[in-house]
Structure formats: C-alpha cells, structure tokens
Structure 1
Amino acid sequence: MATQQGHQAEDATKKQRTFLGYLALMGPAFVVGAWQFGPGNLTTAVQAGSRFDYTLVWVIAVSTILMIFFTDMSVRLGIATPTSLITSIKEHLGRPFGVLAGFGVFGITLMFSVGNAVGSGLGLSLVFGGSPVLWTVVCTAAVALVLAFRNVYGIVEKALLVIVALMAVAFVASAVVAQPDWYRALEGAIPSLPAGSEILVVALVGTNFSINAAFYASYGIKEHKRTRTDYRDITLVDTIPGIVAPGIMTALVILVSASVLGQTGGEATSIGALASIFEPLAGPGGSMLFALGLSGAAFSSMIANATAGGTMLSDAMGRGAKAGSPAARIVTGVILSFGLIITLSFQSSPVGLIVIAQSLTVLIAPLLGVLLIIMSNKTAVMGELRNKWWHNLFAVVGLVTIVASSVRLITLLLG
C-alpha cells in the first residue's frame, strides 16, 4: 500500500511539472560546467588547435562523456544521502577519507585559482584595454563582492547560468565566422596521439574531465533539497546539458583555433594571440567576441571555483557544508588571494603557468574518483539509486583514464 502511494505521489509530481518547473531544476550541473570551463580550459584548447590542428578533438568528446557519468554519481549521492557528501564519506568510510577529500579539493581549487586570475586579467584587458594585472585585481575584488552576499549559492547559480548562455553565443558565433573544416573536425574525433602532445592531452583531461567539479554537484543538489522523484528530470534538463555545454564550447575553441590559424597563417599559443590573429579574418568584432568569451569563462570559473573550494574544505573541517558558512567564506577568500598573489608574482609566463596548474589537478582527482565510486555502490546509502553495471563500467574507464594521466604527468615532470 505504501509503495503504491509512493508511486502515485511520484506520478503526480511528474504530471504537475510545468515548463518553469523544469527550468527550476537547472543549476547544479551548470555550476559544475562553469567551474571546469575556465581560462585554463580555453588556453589548453587554443594550444591544441594551434599546434595540432583538429587531431585532439577526441579528448574533449571522451572527457565529456566520462564527466557526465561522474557528475551523475554525485547528483545521485546528493539526492540519496541525508548529509553532505564529505560528511557521508566520514560516516561510512572513516573521518580521514572525508578530511583528505576536502583538503584534496581545496588543493585543486588553489591550482585552478591561478588560471582563473591570469585569465580574468587577460580577458578583460582584451575587452577594455589596460594592464592585465590591473584587471586581475579588479576581477578578484568583484568576485569577492559577489561572494559576500548572504545567499551565496543562489546568487552564484543564477549568475553562472546567464554567463554560460552568453559564452555559448560568443563561441558559436566565433565558429560561424571562422568556418572550420567540419569534415576534418569529425576526423579529429578518432583518437590519435601526435608527437609532442602528451602534456597537452593531460592538461585537456585535467580541465575537461574535472572530477573535483563533479564532486561538487552533490552540494548543489543538497542546496536545492532535490528528491528521488526529481532524478530523471534533473538528468535530462541539468546534468547532461550542463556538462555537454562546456564540452561543445571547448571543442569549438579548438576548431576556431585550427581554422583561424589555417586561414591567416599565424601562430598562437594564447587566447590573446588568437584574438589578435582572428581580427584580420573577422574584423574587430570577431576578436571582441572571442575576448568576451574568455572574460566570461574567467569570471564564471573564478566564482564557482572559490565557492566550491570554500564549501568543501569547511565541510571537511566540520564547520558546515553551506557556501555561506563563516569557515567557507574564509577559505573562499584564501583561494581568491592565492590566485591573485601567484599571478602577480609570476607574470613572465602566464600561459605556461596555466597549463602546469591545470595538469597538476589530475594528481588529486583519482582519490576523489575512487570515493565517488565506492559511495555510489553502497546499497545502504543509495538504495535504488545505487550504481548499475553500466555506471560502474564508465566509472572504471574514467578512473583508469585519470590515473593514467596522473602517471604520465609524473613521468613527464620527472623526465
């Protein structure tokens, strides 16, 4: 009887869902996507297109698919667990694992903060002129102001949804203007490893298959108090589009880079250089479109990165799992300050700094991936939302990919 009533309630919920109701489910995965789609992501994509033409598009396709599965695991954990993800890990796997996860994510957010700070200054200087360093300071201060509001997560989520939409328009328009060779782009979806591309492939994996960002999805689900009856709709209107959107935009950056450089005969290893080469092909408007996309990516990623790092480290320390908790605000400030200080201290090679910082994230990601897989397979925690065999298949493939990237990175750094 109780089961029948439960099914009736679920059916009623589905029937009552309106268009606005579906829109209301959007958010957590788009925050995840905005976090992973930052200046480091764009810089590595520009290098992939400029140095290796269309041949590394496949890395984005594979990374996006794997990212969907890990984000989905986090979403289900956010629905099923009565407490936050890190707190649940402490309860079921032991406190050391939860603390290690929180500090691991904090370490990753510190690395991402460097790329965000560098990219924000570069992007805004391309749009408005002036010193990139000055704009880095201005952007960091603006993000700190946004995160000072009481309802931090709600403000962040709404802002990022708008920014992601604007970025999508900018990069789609750039691709239309650049007119890439779509046949060769499809050929690039076939895996290959050009000589000298190893460190760049690791960086692309680190930015596009961002397990730390997927890990944070459960916190957004908890903020919204989503239930099991919401799961299917969340998958269709939030999880899949929220992760696919940055994947498509990253692929477009590779295509635009390869196409523009092929038509102009120029060379570019940075977004700024690409924007300047883009101008002869599309005029000042084309260059501005690309610069606006970079600015949006930097600002959105900076907000999401600082918010997520602050929230999860606060949770690991037992100081609250909300973005607006005092401990989370303090850690958020530390993350923003770290990115600003490192950027001001190492101005000579910002692009190299971004690539190295993004690559290093894969050293911490395997731990987070293992924890997500273990927790998602616990029947006592998940119930009917427990991983199915195909979830575990893609989870293992993803874990092997990120471990292989970590091993390769260590080999390259030591060699």
Structure 2
Amino acid sequence: MNDQPPTSFFKRILASLGPAIITASVVLGPGSILSASKIGHTYAYQMTWVLVIAVIMMIAMTALSARLGIQLKGTICDELAERAGRPVAAATGIILFLIAACFQFSNNLGILAAVEPFLEPPQAEAVENPAADDKPQADAGSTEDADPLAAAKPVEDVKKKESMASTTIPILIIIFMNAFIILALYGFKHLYGIIEKLMKLLVGIMMVAFAINLFQVKPDWLAALTGFIPSIPPGTFDTILPKWNPETEKVQDLMTPLVALYATTFSVAGAFYQSYLVRQKGWTRDNLKQGLIDSTLGISMLGLITMMVLITAAKVLYHNPDVVELKSVADVSKSLEPAFGTSAMVIFSLGIFAGAFSSFLVNAMIGGSILADGFGLGGYIDQKWPKLFTVFALITGMAVAIYTKAMGQKPMALIIFAQSLTVLGIPMLAIAMLWLATRADMKGENSIPAWMKILGFIGLISSIFLALRTAVSLLLPYTHG
C-alpha cells in the first residue's frame, strides 16, 4: 500500500521521485559520460541543443511508459502476449536480454575506468638497479664492460610485476563487484525500495561530483548559453548515413559524436522498463500525476548531469593540444589533473564510479526482468526467474570483461552482434509501447495524452533512423571488403 502523501509541496515533489531516478541511473553510465565529453572536446558548447532534444524525447517516452505501467491490467509483456501472442512477448524479452547481456561487459569496464587512474603503477624507467650501489665505480679508463643483462633484469622484473598487477587487480575488482551484487540480490527482500534508495544516492553523488568539477573549471557561461541555439558545424551532414572512405578503407561518419550523445540519452530500453518500475513502486491511477512529475524531474536530472559533463569538457578539452583522443572515461578524468590538480581528477572519477555502478546493476535487472516476463515467468526483481536471469546477465558481462582485460582486446564479434540486435530490438520496443498506447481500450479515463503519443512517435522515427545508420555502418565493411 502507498504511504499517506506528504503535505508540503517540496516534500510531495521529493516523494514523486523514484522510478525515473532508476531509469536515469541506468542511462547515465560511462557511455553517456564519454559521449558528452567527446562533444565538448570536439564542438565546445555548440551542440548542447542536441542534448536538450534527446532529454525531451526521453521524458516523453518515459512518461508514456509510466502511463502504460499504471493503466494497463498487466505488464507490457503480459499485454503483448494477450493481444499479439506469446511469441511476440518472448521475442521482445529475448532481444532486450541479449542486448543488455552483450553490453553488460562495458559496465564492468566502466567501473574499472573510474578506478584506473589510481591503479597505475610507477614507471619502470624510474627504477634503478639496486645492485649498482654494491659495486665499486669503474675507473674512467677501464675497459671492463658492465653486464647489460644484469643491469636490465631489475627493470624487467618490475615491468613483469606491473603487467601482472594491471591485469590481476582489475579482474579481482570485477569478480568482487559481481559477487557483491549477486549476494545482495539474494540477501535482501523487497529489493525495489533498496534499489531506489541506492540509485538516489548514486545520482546525488554524480550531481555533486560533476557540479564541483564544473565550478572548478570556471566555464564561459555566456558561451555555454549559445549552445542552446541550434547550429550545425560545417560538413556534419555530409554523412547523414555512414560512407565508405576508399583512402582509409574505413567507415567514415562525421555524425558519430552527435549520434552517440543522442542515443546514450534517449534510451528506449530504459524508458520501456519504467512501466515495470512504477508497478513495483505500487503506483495506481491515483499516482498518474506523480508519474509525470517523476518522469520529468528524473530525466531532467539525467540531462542536467550530462550537460555539466559536456560544459566541463568544453572548457578543459576544447582546443587542448595535450588531448588528442578520448578513448575512455578514464582519459577524461586524467585530462583534468594537469590544469586543476589531483582533486579534480578524484572528484570526476567518483562521479564516473557512481554512474558506472548504477548502470552496472540496473542494466542487468532490465535484461533479466524483461526476459522472464516475456516467457510469462514474472517481471519483478523479487521473483525467482527475473532474479536468476539477472544473475545470468551479470555473469555474462563479468566473463566478457575478464576476457577483455586478460586478452587486452575488445570482443569485436560480440559488439557487432549486440549492435545488430539494436537494429531490430530498439525500434521494436518503441513500436510495442506506441501500439499498446493506441489500442481501442486506451480511451476515456485510460487515454494517453496526445503530446506523449506525438513525441513518442517522433522518438520511434528517430530510433528507426539510428537503427538504419547502425545497419549501414555494419554492412559497409563487408560490401567493400
């Protein structure tokens, strides 16, 4: 049962926050932080408006999903099974689970990226040969040669130890984090309430950490405001769809940073799960207004945090000759240290850790819960099968992350497989929500506001466009190979 609603306006607003905070926490992971940093690095403040559009689309899709969760008799997969057949619901669950499981390894690596700056060993070149202190200095005219192998051995030993540490410690961290989460899943009851409180804490940590960094770097606020005015850098639309560059023999796509920022903010999979969260929260028709407030404020926090990262990166990284390429969020945090000291790097890394850990848990939950529900086995995390499938997603991500660290290379076949699934899966989720929102029984008191359906349809079109770009990018190497 729901508690009595708080009386003060501020307390009512806080009480309305919940499910969308969990949704925001899974969206605001390492990928989102890296994408925002790359936009700041490449375009400074110029493309902030793209983030604003993505946030508006995400608010609409999340609010639509919340409405469906409250107003439908069953979960989305239950309704799909009843109205379109169990195979449709099962296919939805399978595709979403595979996407979540395949990309779970990146959330493991995101946690490592947050602690990576603190795991770097001292440089081997700085280590001296301790045996040299025990040997008398050779005469200036002596022809006695020093043993190069003996001199090099201590350095080689140090390098070998550093190599082992750089692999072993991260793998142990990955195993510990996954074991901790699995034990927590089976050690606590009423998991929704615990997860909501934890996600609020982690989002709060991100908000504070990135805000401190933002004010440390002292951005040009007037220039930052101009980023809200839509503008297109020259040449950006030369590759509306990716093209093959015969000179480099690689796919050329100038829109990659913009597409990444939009796609990591407007997450159809995250919005889809909102319908499950409001049901686990226990919300009913009496909470429809709360659902809209929750979606608006929760996703707005997502946008605000991403914007703080973007503006910080624009100030620190734009036209910075020392920063050539950002390959990971660890590169972003380390780039803050030369200009703003170790404290800035530590604070930014704390924000990265909060984002990575929240995505790490909730992404696996989404995959496990929707897969179980697709087969009619329940869709709530406290139930047996959603919990088992969540653990399976965690173990899959852990195994791939360990392989990646041990082998020193990304599992490209798995990444291509996951990207291929998104071509079909993400539009399918948007279509499922809009199809249910426009059924004949969704009228009168059950009707979905027109603005949600209109923006949801625009979101569907954008997801199809992104899926098309992904498909073209995947096919080009094979057609020109």
Q: Is TM more than 0.5 here?
A: yes
Q: Distance in 2 between matches of 1:57 and 1:114?
A: 29
Aligned ranges 1:284-303 → 2 under 5 Å: 284-303=342-361
1:349-379 CA distance string (max 9 Å, x none):
5699999799667422111001111111224
Q: 8 Å contact 1:206–1:358 — kept in the other structure?
A: no
Residue 404 (structure 1) aligns with: 465
Change in CA separation of 1:351 and 1:319 when aligned onto 2, cut-off 3 Å: closer
* CA RMSD between the two structures: 2.7
Q: 8 Å contact 1:43–1:354 — kept in the other structure?
A: no
One-letter amino acid matched to 1:179: K
Residue 333 (structure 1) aligns with: 391
Residue 450 (structure 2) aligns with: 389
Q: 8 Å contact 1:118–1:350 — kept in the other structure?
A: no
One-letter amino acid matched to 2:173: W
1:284-338 CA distance string (max 9 Å, x none):
1100111001000011111111112111111111111210212111111111112
Q: 8 Å contact 1:80–1:382 — kept in the other structure?
A: no
2:45 aligns with one of 41, 54, 65: 54
Q: Distance in 2 between matches of 1:243 and 1:279?
A: 30
Residue 211 (structure 1) aligns with: 268
Q: 8 Å contact 1:199–1:409 — kept in the other structure?
A: no
Aligned ranges 1:365-376 → 2 under 5 Å: 365-376=426-437
Task: State which drifts further: 349-358 or 337-346.
Answer: 349-358
Q: 8 Å contact 2:108–2:360 — kept in the other structure?
A: yes
Displacement of 1:15 in angstroms is 9.2
Name the structure where helix makes up a greater proportion of residues: 1
Aligned ranges 1:185-334 → 2 under 5 Å: 185-189=224-228, 190-192=230-232, 195=236, 196-236=253-293, 238-262=294-318, 264-267=320-323, 268-269=325-326, 270-334=328-392
Residue 6 (structure 1) aligns with: none
One-letter amino acid matched to 1:299: F
When Rg is computed on C-alpha atoms for both structures, the one with the higher figure is 2
Q: 8 Å contact 1:101–1:368 — kept in the other structure?
A: yes
Change in CA separation of 1:244 and 1:112 when aligned onto 2, cut-off 3 Å: farther
Residue 37 (structure 1) aligns with: 28
Q: 8 Å contact 2:404–2:411 — kept in the other structure?
A: no
Displacement of 1:200 in angstroms is 2.9
- TM-score for both structures, normalised by structure 2: 0.77
2:75 aligns with one of 63, 80, 84: 84
1:23-73 CA distance string (max 9 Å, x none):
333211111000111112112222222233333323221111000111011
Q: 8 Å contact 2:63–2:291 — kept in the other structure?
A: no
Q: Distance in 2 between matches of 1:46 and 1:252?
A: 10
Counterpart secondary structure, 2:474: helix
Q: 8 Å contact 2:364–2:390 — kept in the other structure?
A: yes
Aligned-residue sequence identity (percent) comes to: 27
Change in CA separation of 1:19 and 1:354 when aligned onto 2, cut-off 3 Å: farther
Counterpart secondary structure, 2:109: helix
5+ residue gaps, structure 2: 121-165, 237-252, 477-481
Change in CA separation of 1:136 and 1:184 when aligned onto 2, cut-off 3 Å: farther
1:247-271 CA distance string (max 9 Å, x none):
1211221221221123753214022
| 1:153 and 2:210 are equivalent in the alignment | no
Q: Distance in 1 between matches of 2:16 and 2:265?
A: 23
Counterpart secondary structure, 2:318: helix
5+ residue gaps, structure 1: 1-12
| 1:172 and 2:228 are equivalent in the alignment | no
Q: How many residues align?
A: 402
| 1:139 and 2:177 are equivalent in the alignment | yes
1:107 aligns with one of 89, 98, 101: 98
Q: 8 Å contact 1:60–1:251 — kept in the other structure?
A: yes
1:162 aligns with one of 172, 193, 201: 201
Q: 8 Å contact 2:5–2:12 — kept in the other structure?
A: no
One-letter amino acid matched to 1:184: A
Q: 8 Å contact 2:86–2:375 — kept in the other structure?
A: no
Q: Distance in 2 between matches of 1:354 and 1:42?
A: 22
- TM-score for both structures, normalised by structure 1: 0.88
Q: 8 Å contact 1:378–1:386 — kept in the other structure?
A: no
Counterpart secondary structure, 1:50: helix
Q: 8 Å contact 1:206–1:361 — kept in the other structure?
A: no
